[in-house]
A and B are shown apart, each in its own frame.
Chain A
Amino acid sequence: MTSDSVIETFELTKRYGRRGARSVLAVDGVSLSVERGQVFGFLGPNGSGKTTTIGMLAGVVRPTAGSFSLLGATGPRELVAARARVGATLETPNFYPYLSGRDNLRIATAIKGADRARVDECLELVGLADRAGHRFGSYSLGMKQRLSLAATMLNDPELVILDEPANGLDPQGMREIRTIIRDLAGCGTTIFLSSHLLWEVERICSHVAIVRKGRIVASGPVEEIASGDISALVRAEDEMALLEALAGYPDGKGAQRGQEGVIVSLASDDLAALNRYLAGCGIHLSHLARHRQSLEEVFVELTAGDSRTEGGG
């Protein structure tokens, strides 16, 4: 294990219910590593096991198999202490509805052993200072989400874990949450963030793991994941001839007609060689460019069909 891993999971697995027809394998051998300073996006469609994974890290879901470390802690007692140094939310903002936002944060402060002065500072940070004395039950969804963000910051945590922090918010609310998270990341806090909405995280994450049906299907720095295979976008007048010629290209790994032209997967990114080869075949390109797959395309490709089969697995 690397010394700078703040989260490290090894083959983490959770099966709800006993083995059998009605049991659900929610998380299936997830191994990932989050290093200090990263803004790590944990992406996957609904029901892919994000909440369950975070629940195991947070100590409210018992793993069926596998192990993990949190801020270097692995034993049960160590983990309880480590969690006090982490700020985490799970699914919904969970607070006492009859208490004010401020009193709710006072309770969290007492649990975490944080400085009481932080309560008002954090309320200020998320823009709740003027409603801090009102009952939590009277808050709008956006205010509830912001209060739970405030709660994660109480102890100036080294690591913040957020489970779908902008779920159910309108674009304005999402923007506010994103700004807060970005500020937090700007201060060097490591952030582990789950979402089923790619565009919600792609602009703030440095690293991502894409999870599907409880398994990690891709992970790494955003640029690496997003670029994926090396490929080129080519256009020519006679598309049929172009495709035929590409089929015989020794460095090619397949070609596909796309909306904007033909996309060729390549073994090397020597576009000049491709151009020479096609010219030799008598095909003159009207367009040749390196093609970058966006994170969104990767995400859609990797998790394709999940929204239809969701709940059926």
Chain B
Amino acid sequence: MSGSALAQGARTARLAGSVGVLVRIELLKLLKRRIFWVAVVLFALLATMKFATASTAAGGEMAFLLAPPGVWPATLAIPATVGPAFLGLVVIALVAPEFTWRTARQSVIDGLGVERFYAAKCMMILALSALSVVLALVVGLVGAAVGSVEWESAALGAGDVQFLASYTAASLMAGAAALWLACTFRAGAPAMVAFIGYAVAEPIAAAILGGRSELLDVVLSYLPVELAMTLGNRMAHYPEALSGLREMMEIVGMSPPDATAVKGLLIAVHLYAMVLFAAGYATMRYRDL
């Protein structure tokens, strides 16, 4: 091995050790946090609930219209619509107290540094997003095992993968927004009020402003909450299976999400997430703790 390869290896090992420490610290804090386990149970229940109702509805006459085939669309239906907001609130509940308890401050004093403190929080958000996907998948598999669903339908199709990816990305964006708010307000209640307030205000503002010009409508469709709602909608991911429903919606004057725009929306969601992560970091970096 050459010298530079050795140095590279040492750097990688150091980085891995450093990441290992962050993981250990965050796990120690997380696994004993009651609110974390409450959130996990609540989330699993949410996912199960929809699966239960969907599998009974699937027996009805309108089933072919209302539900795309398979386990996943049913399992993901609720997580994908409320999951990102739910994750955001959990992130605020987990992170904001670090400021009120002044444990963020103490971590920096102890030599963690602002950078690694923040990196640990970003990693936690990634892990929580992944966990919410895993939870949804597990619920889906269990549902398939105990329910009347045939096993073949448990295989992931292209639509399922896209649905999962969209859901994960939207969760990441919500988590990043929550982290930024938690680091800015440094207290749970105001951060949650701001988070929920925005989630409510944006669609209202979009409804008021919408329909005036085509350009403005495009811009509005790229606002974060709008993006998350579109990406969480099954109709964006199973256009063929739900074509009947789409037609019905169009007849009554509603506009189903545009399935062809999903790639662009996914890029936008990732951009939002990156900007929000950066904003949170800047807040941490340039303000006294």
Bound together:
yes
List residues of chain A with CB under 8 Å of any chain B CB.
55, 58-62, 80-86, 88-90, 92, 94-99, 103, 106-108, 110-113, 151
Beta-carbon contacts of B258-289 to A below 8 Å, as 1s and 0s? 00000000000000000000000000001011
Q: Check if B111 sits within 8 Å of A85, measured CB to CB.
A: yes
Chain A: which residue is nearest B111 at the CB level?
A84
Chain A: which residue is nearest B21 at the CB level?
A110
Q: Check if B288 sits within 8 Å of A61, measured CB to CB.
A: yes
CA–CA, A108 to B111, complex, Å? Answer: 9
B: number of interface residues (CB 8 Å)? 25
Query: In the assembled complex, which residues on chain A have CB atoms less than 8 Å from the CB atom of B28?
Result: 99, 103, 106-107, 110
Q: A98 is contacted by which of B32, B114, B115 (Cβ under 8 Å)?
A: B32
Q: A103 is contacted by which of B32, B103, B107, B109 (Cβ under 8 Å)?
A: B32
Q: B29 is contacted by which of A82, A89, A94, A107 (Cβ under 8 Å)?
A: A107
Instruction: List 21 A-B pairs, Cβ < 8 Å.
Output: A59-B108, A60-B109, A60-B288, A61-B288, A62-B288, A82-B111, A83-B111, A90-B105, A90-B106, A92-B102, A99-B29, A103-B32, A106-B28, A107-B25, A108-B106, A110-B24, A111-B21, A111-B107, A111-B111, A111-B112, A151-B110
Query: In the assembled complex, which residues on chain B have CB atoms less than 8 Å from the CB atom of A59?
Result: 108-109, 113-114
CA–CA, A33 to B207, complex, Å? Answer: 63
How many A-B residue pairs have C-beta atoms within 8 angstroms? Tell me: 79
Given contacts A59-B108, A99-B29, 17 further A-B contacts (CB under 8 A): A55-B288, A60-B108, A60-B288, A80-B111, A83-B109, A83-B111, A88-B109, A92-B102, A98-B34, A99-B28, A99-B32, A103-B28, A107-B28, A107-B29, A110-B24, A111-B25, A151-B110
Q: Check if A86 sits within 8 Å of B111, measured CB to CB.
A: yes
Query: In the assembled complex, which residues on chain A have CB atoms less than 8 Å from the CB atom of B115?
Result: 80
CA–CA, A98 to B113, complex, Å? Answer: 23
Q: B109 is contacted by which of A58, A97, A107, A110 (Cβ under 8 Å)?
A: A58
Q: Check if B106 sits within 8 Å of A95, measured CB to CB.
A: yes
CA–CA, A92 to B24, complex, Å? Answer: 25
CB under 8 Å from chain A, chain B span 237-261: none
Query: In the assembled complex, which residues on chain A have CB atoms less than 8 Å from the CB atom of B107?
Result: 107, 111
Residue B11 at the chain A interface, CB threshold 8 Å = no
CA–CA, A151 to B110, complex, Å? Answer: 9
How far in angstroms is the closest Cβ of chain A from B99?
10
Query: In the assembled complex, which residues on chain A have CB atoms less than 8 Å from the CB atom of B109?
Result: 58-60, 83, 88-90
Q: Check if B289 sits within 8 Å of A84, measured CB to CB.
A: no
Q: B101 is contacted by which of A60, A85, A94 (Cβ under 8 Å)?
A: A94
CA–CA, A80 to B109, complex, Å? Answer: 9
**A112 and B111 in contact, given A60-B289, A96-B29, A107-B25 (Cβ under 8 angstroms):** yes
**A110 and B113 in contact, given A60-B105, A60-B288, A90-B105 (Cβ under 8 angstroms):** no
How far in angstroms is the closest Cβ of chain B from A105?
11
Query: In the assembled complex, which residues on chain A have CB atoms less than 8 Å from the CB atom of B24?
Result: 110
Q: Check if B32 sits within 8 Å of A108, measured CB to CB.
A: no
Query: In the assembled complex, which residues on chain B have CB atoms less than 8 Å from the CB atom of A82?
Result: 111
How far in angstroms is the closest Cβ of chain B from A49?
14
